[in-house]
Structure 1
Amino acid sequence: MTLFEIIILAIIQGVTEFLPISSSGHLLLPAELFGWVSQGLAFDVAVHVGSLLAVMIYFRQEIAQMTVAWVTKGFTKEQSTDSKLAWYVIIATIPAVIIGFVMKDWIELNARTALVIAATTIIFGLALWYADATAKRTQELTSLNWKQALLIGLAQVLALIPGTSRSGITMTAGLMLGLNRESCARFSFLLSIPVILGAGLLATLDLLQANEAVDWSALLYGAAFSFVSAYLCIYLFLSWISRIGMLPFVIYRLLLGVILLWFVFA
């Protein structure tokens, strides 16, 4: 890859990892529009590391509080708000881990197509619009319970289908359960930490088995630009989401889905 391609792909990965607009749909576009080659396993690991560092640094205070609370109170009857939130992140992660382990190979072989990505981009974009337009959006993250966390985790399983958008489907579920927009986004971002970590570890194992040649400068640039774009994305999204709502992202998803359908049937 050229430096320009590295920068563009890293920014795409960093931004779309957290916005409800589907990273897989966007990563198809450079190949379809410009004939760019696959980014490769090593680069995939690098941009995942950049995204993971961004979300962990942004939520460093919450992560520290949740970790301390989980260790000190997580196994007692006197649960704190932070220890409960830590448990909810764990509970919501379990379904994706189990189903992802069982279905990973089948999804890679059968679902990673432009048609599937176009369809899910549109369908789950409309679901996001419906949830945002009709839900009450009154509940704060501090009042989340384990049943709601589990339902959000079950919804996250759908993100294994390319084009769904992990952040999009978890925010959709959160909105439908009554969480306000910012609470949905914050829980979705916290939930991304074990997911990105797991995906990065799996990609690393695949990389070690593939014995792929490594371009270290490409990895450094990829991780750096992924980190910067992901951090800015998280900051701006949380700053704006209560005011702008989900409609701009819904419209964008619909346009992206139409463009992908055009490539499929052109």
Structure 2
Amino acid sequence: MIESMTWLQALVLGAVQGLTEFLPISSSAHLRIVSQVFFGDDAGASFTAVTQLGTELAVLIYFARDIGRIVAAWFRGLFDKTQRGNLDYRIGWYVIIATIPIGLLGYLLKDQIRTGARNLWVIATMLIVFALVIAVAEKVGRQTRPIEKLTTRDGLVMGAAQCLALIPGVSRSGATSSAGLFMGLTREAAVRFSFLLAIPAVTASGLFSLPDAFEPAGEGLTASGPQLIVATIVAFVLGYASIAWLLKFVANHSLYWFVGYRIVVGAAVLVLLGTGVVAAT
């Protein structure tokens, strides 16, 4: 049964998207949990994907100077071999190469992503399991290589890790940043490249999901066009603020803070599911 989303729900879920998208705690998991626990239904994968356009716009604006420099260097390098040793040229290629795996898997598994993967048992379990992965990455990562030392191998590994984010509860930034730490990158380098890496995949996902979001089919909460627009704007504003906060935070603090948070939230959801307070689907 399709249920129309209220303005309060749209505003709350847009805020949740903006606040959680860039933190290694899984925005898709939080949208699913909040919509189910507080509103009694699922806002849907399409709502998640479309509001992510707001947070990705925040990335584009926040990193506009870096992105412009990388794009310019990439095009120069295509025609001038002497420019191909440039870091920005290489990062451009790393982002392109690392986006291919999630693009292919996202297309092939789109039906499973919108259905079975959104089960709250799966989400709560992944919040806890991947919290442990992040903890291990923080513990064993040497953190000796700055972004200037980024390699094609780093891009491939982080690109493969990004595919795990197709499962709600994993976290795109958590997966890619952890992979970077395992590869020996500094925390700041791993998080910064994680932001750049998310841009093409999340933007493509949001645009691809636009038709489903505006013409929904199936069950769950459905937002109107104006509600989607407002929720996306809210996600943009709060997302921009969260980028600035996270970059400052990881410069002086470990990811263990997020590990503890993920475990607490995952455990709480498992308790709610086990006692029948909320439904898994």
- TM-score class normalised by the smaller sequence: over 0.9
1:190 aligns with 2:184: no
Q: What's 2:74 paired with? A: 70
- Residue-by-residue CA offset, 1:9-35 (whole Å, 9 max, x unaligned): 111111221110012221122233223
Gaps of 5+ in 2: 276-281
8 Å contact kept, 1:44–1:203: no
Specify whether residues 57 and 126 from structure 1 end up closer, same or farther in structure 2 by C-alpha distance, changes over 3 A only: same
How far, CA to CA, are the matches of 2:96 and 2:79 in structure 1?
14
- Using the TM superposition, give the Cα deviation of residue 101 of structure 1 relative to its aligned residue in structure 2, in angstroms: 1.6
1:138 aligns with 2:147: no
How far, CA to CA, are the matches of 2:108 and 2:47 in structure 1?
25
How far, CA to CA, are the matches of 1:164 and 1:113 in structure 2?
13
Counterpart mapping for 1:101-112 below 5 A: 101-112=107-118
Output the amino acid matched with 1:47: T
Paired residues, number: 266
Output the amino acid matched with 1:57: I
Q: Give secondary structure in 2 for the equivalent of 1:111.
A: helix
1:34 aligns with 2:43: no
8 Å contact kept, 1:136–1:178: yes
Q: What's 1:232 paired with? A: 241
- Using the TM superposition, give the Cα deviation of residue 261 of structure 1 relative to its aligned residue in structure 2, in angstroms: 0.8
8 Å contact kept, 1:42–1:219: no
1:261 aligns with 2:265: no
How far, CA to CA, are the matches of 1:94 and 1:17 in structure 2?
21
Q: What's 1:243 paired with? A: 252
- Using the TM superposition, give the Cα deviation of residue 241 of structure 1 relative to its aligned residue in structure 2, in angstroms: 0.7
Q: What's 1:53 paired with? A: 57
Specify whether residues 218 and 153 from structure 1 end up closer, same or farther in structure 2 by C-alpha distance, changes over 3 A only: same
Deviates more, 1:206-215 or 1:216-225: 206-215
1:10 aligns with 2:14: yes
Q: What's 2:278 paired with? A: none
Give identity over the alignment, percent.
38
Give 1:20's match in structure 2, choosing from 12, 19, 24: 24
TM-score (norm 1): 0.92
How far, CA to CA, are the matches of 2:228 and 2:256 in structure 1?
35
Give 1:86's match in structure 2, choosing from 88, 92, 95: 92
Output the amino acid matched with 2:194: S
How far, CA to CA, are the matches of 2:182 and 2:42 in structure 1?
37
- Using the TM superposition, give the Cα deviation of residue 57 of structure 1 relative to its aligned residue in structure 2, in angstroms: 0.1
How far, CA to CA, are the matches of 1:111 and 1:97 in structure 2?
17
TM-score (norm 2): 0.87
8 Å contact kept, 1:46–1:222: no
- Residue-by-residue CA offset, 1:186-209 (whole Å, 9 max, x unaligned): 111111111111111111133466
Specify whether residues 260 and 194 from structure 1 end up closer, same or farther in structure 2 by C-alpha distance, changes over 3 A only: same
8 Å contact kept, 2:26–2:169: yes
Gaps of 5+ in 1: none
Give 1:158's match in structure 2, choosing from 161, 164, 172: 164
How far, CA to CA, are the matches of 1:178 and 1:157 in structure 2?
20
Give the root-mean-square deviation of aligned CA atoms: 2.2
Q: Give secondary structure in 2 for the equivalent of 1:245.
A: coil
- Residue-by-residue CA offset, 1:79-113 (whole Å, 9 max, x unaligned): 11111001001111111111222222234333221
Specify whether residues 118 and 239 from structure 1 end up closer, same or farther in structure 2 by C-alpha distance, changes over 3 A only: same
Q: What's 2:279 paired with? A: none
8 Å contact kept, 1:48–1:223: yes
Specify whether residues 210 and 256 from structure 1 end up closer, same or farther in structure 2 by C-alpha distance, changes over 3 A only: closer
Output the amino acid matched with 2:137: A
8 Å contact kept, 2:131–2:262: yes
Counterpart mapping for 1:89-128 below 5 A: 89-128=95-134
